[in-house]
Structure 1
Amino acid sequence: VFCPLSVVAKLNYHLSVRLNFLSINRFERKKNLGLAISAFALLRSVVSKQPGDALREASLTVAGGYDKRLKENVEYLEELKRLAATEGVSEHVKFVTSCSSSERNELLSNCLCVLYTPKDEHFGIVPLEAMAAYKPVIACNSGGPVETVVNEATGFLCDPSPIEFSKAMLKFVSDHDLAVRMGKQARDRVVQKFSTKTFGDLLNSYVLNVYHQRME
C-alpha cells in the first residue's frame, strides 16, 4: 500500500515559513493550474493596496509532471506562462517541469502551503504528501480533498475560483503562525489516518471480514 509518509521520510522539515506558494500536478488542462496563477495574482493585487511590503518576496512555484513529447503538456505550459504574463506576475511565478523526488521534497520543505487546484478530482496523493511534509493545503471543496483535508484545521476547502483561493492564501500571509499550526495538525492527520499501519490494519480487517463471511 502506498503511503505518503514514505515519500518524505528523509525530508528535512522547515517549520519556519516562507512566502512561497506551491502547486504540484501534471501539466494537463484538467488539473486547472491556471487557478493557482490567477489566485496568486489576485492576492498580490489585494495586498499591494495595503501598507507594508508583505508580498514583495512572495512567489508561486508551479511544478509537476511534464513530457515534451505530449502535445497537451507543451501547449498547456505555454498557456500558463502567457496567463502569468497577462496577470502581471511572470516575475514571481516559477515553473518546474518533471522535478525529481528530492527536488519535490525541497519545494515542499520551502513553501508556505500547497495549492491543489483540480475540481472533482479523485482521491489525489498530493494533499497527503503536502500534509506529511507539515504543510497545509488549499484545495477545491469537491472530490478527494474533501476526504483528506479538514477545512480550517489542516487547510482550507474552497470553491474553485481565484477569489476564494486568494482569500484562503491571504489568511496564511496575514498570520505566518497559522501555516505552522495547521501544518502540524496536517502531519498528525496523515500519521493517524493514512500511515502504512493504518492502511495495513484496514486491509487486514477487510480480509478478515471477507473470510468470516465465507465461513458462515
Structure 2
Amino acid sequence: MRVAVYYPWVYLRSGIERALIEIKRRSRHEIRIYTNHFDPRGTFPELDGMGVTELSRVSVERTYSAVTAAALSIVRTRLDPAEHDAVLVCCDGLGPLLTFANRRKPVVNLCFTPLRATYDEVYRDRLLARGGPARPVKRAAETVFRLVDRMAWRNFDEVICIADTVRRRVADNRLFPESKIHLAYPGVEPRLAVPEGASEPMFLLPGRIMWTKNIELAIDGFRRFLRDAPPALQRFRLHIAGMVDAKSRPYFAQLQELAGGDERIVFETVVSDERMRALYTQAWAVLAPAFNEDFGLTPVEAMAHGRPVLACNRGGLRETVLDGVTGLLVEPEPAAFAAGLRRIAQDADLARQLGAQGPARAAAFTWPRFVQTIDAVLDGAQRRSV
C-alpha cells in the first residue's frame, strides 16, 4: 500500500520526527513523507535522505497571525490521490485540518496529542496564566479552533493514540469514540534494552529545552538537594541536554538565570544521538519533570540503558515509569523533587536496583511494535474502504 504520511512541520528533534524516521524505516508499506515546513538542518539528519516532500511552505512561528496563516494553508493543501492509497496524519495540533481537502482515500490519525492549548487542561491553564492581557484573544481563538477542529476529526476513519493519557484526552473532549481508538506506544530499539556501564554522580535531564518540560522544577529541586546534602553528595551535578529552538530561547535564558552560575548545573544544546547515548550511560539517574507529558520517550530510553528515573507523577510518565520498580514518581513540587533526588543519590543500592529492572520494562515499548500497530490499522482502514 502507498501511504502519504503528513506532519505540518518537520524542523525539530522531537518525538514526532523520530517516529517519522521509524515509520519510514520499518513499515511494510510504501511511505512518503509530506510536510509544509522542512528544515533538514534543524531536525534529525536521517530525514534528509528520506525524500521528504515540502508542500506550500508555512511559518513555524507561534504568533496568532502566523498560526492562522498556517492553518488556512493546511486546509487548502491537497495531496494527489493518484499517488497514495491512504493518508496517515501525525497530529499534535493543526494536522487534522489536512483532511478537509483529502477525503478521497482512507485517512488515519496518528495522534501524539490533540492541540494542547485547547484540550489539555493543565497546559491550557498554564498558557492562559502566561497570557496576561492577551487572554481574551486566546479564549476567542480557542472557541473558533474547537469548532473547526471537531469537524476535521469527523473525517478520520481510524485514530491511533501514542498513550492512554492522549486517548483519554481525545475521548474526554469527544473528538473520537474511546472504544474505537487504537493504542501504539513509541519506544526504543530492542537491542538498546540492556544495562550499560558504570554510572557517575550526574543527574541527566534529556530532551528538548522548552517550557512544557518544566525544567525549572528540576533546577529548583536540584539546588534544594545541594543545599541540604552532606559533603559526600555535593559532588553530584545536573546535566541538561537537548536542543533549543528559536521560540524557546527566552525560556532557556530564564533557566540559565535560575541556575545562578552554579558550575554543577550544565547545559548542552547541541547533542547528537551518539552523545545522548553516552550521557545516558554516564547518568546516575534520569529526570523527567514535565508537568503533564503526553507520553515521554526519554524515561523509556533511560530504562533501556539501565538507569533509574525520577519523574513527576502526572500524565504519560505514569504509564512508563513503575514507581518503586524502575524509578520514583513524585509530586511536581521542588521539595518533593529534591527529596527524590536525595533518596536516589544517597542509596546506591536502590539506584542500582531500580536501574536493573529498567531494561525489562523498556522492552515493552519498542519501535517495531509501534510500527506494526500502525501498519495493521492502515490495512484495516484500506480494506473497509474497498
Q: Does 1:46 align with 2:224?
A: no
Q: 1:20 aligns with which of 202, 221, 226?
A: 202
Q: For this pair of structures, how many residues does the alignment match?
A: 200
1:12–1:140: structure 2 CA closer, same or farther, 3 Å change rule?
A: closer
Q: Is the 8 A contact 2:194 2:359 kept in 1?
A: no
Distance 2:297 2:282 in 1: 19
Taking only the aligned residue pairs, the percentage that are identical comes to 30
Bigger shift: residues 199-208 or 74-83: 199-208
Q: TM-score, normalised by structure 2?
A: 0.47
Distance 2:278 2:347 in 1: 23
Shift of 1:4: 3.8
Aligned with 1:165: secondary structure?
A: helix
Q: Is the 8 A contact 1:8 1:133 kept in 2?
A: no
Aligned with 2:325: secondary structure?
A: coil
What is aligned with 1:195? Answer: 366
Shift of 1:84: 0.9
Question: In the TM superposition, what whole-angstrom CA distance separates every residue of 1:132-188 from its partner, at most 9, and x where no partner exists?
Answer: 111111111111111011011111111111111111111111111211211121111
Return the letter of the residue paired with 1:79.
Answer: Q
What is aligned with 2:158? Answer: none
Q: 1:63 aligns with which of 226, 241, 247?
A: 241
Shift of 1:17: 2.6
Q: Is the 8 A contact 2:310 2:327 kept in 1?
A: yes
Report the aligned-residue RMSD.
2.7
Distance 1:120 1:114 in 2: 17
Distance 1:79 1:196 in 2: 35
Q: TM-score, normalised by structure 1?
A: 0.81
Shift of 1:9: 3.4
Return the letter of the residue paired with 2:311.
Answer: A
Q: 2:341 aligns with which of 169, 175, 189?
A: 169
Question: In the TM superposition, what whole-angstrom CA distance separates every residue of 1:73-106 from its partner, at most 9, and x where no partner exists?
Answer: 2211211111011xxx611100000311111111
Q: Does 1:37 align with 2:219?
A: yes
Q: Is the 8 A contact 2:216 2:255 kept in 1?
A: yes
What is aligned with 1:75? Answer: 250
Q: Which one has the largest radius of gyration?
A: 2
Return the letter of the residue paired with 1:13.
Answer: E
Q: Which runs of 5+ in 1 are unaligned?
A: none
Distance 2:193 2:304 in 1: 11
Pairs within 5 Å for 1:52-131: 53-67=231-245, 70=246, 72-85=247-260, 90-131=262-303
Q: Does 1:9 align with 2:192?
A: yes
What is aligned with 1:140? Answer: 312
1:8–1:102: structure 2 CA closer, same or farther, 3 Å change rule?
A: farther
Return the letter of the residue paired with 1:22.
Answer: L
Q: Which runs of 5+ in 2 are unaligned?
A: 1-18, 23-185
Q: Is the 8 A contact 2:195 2:305 kept in 1?
A: no
Aligned with 1:18: secondary structure?
A: coil
1:11–1:131: structure 2 CA closer, same or farther, 3 Å change rule?
A: closer
Distance 2:356 2:376 in 1: 29
1:12–1:133: structure 2 CA closer, same or farther, 3 Å change rule?
A: closer
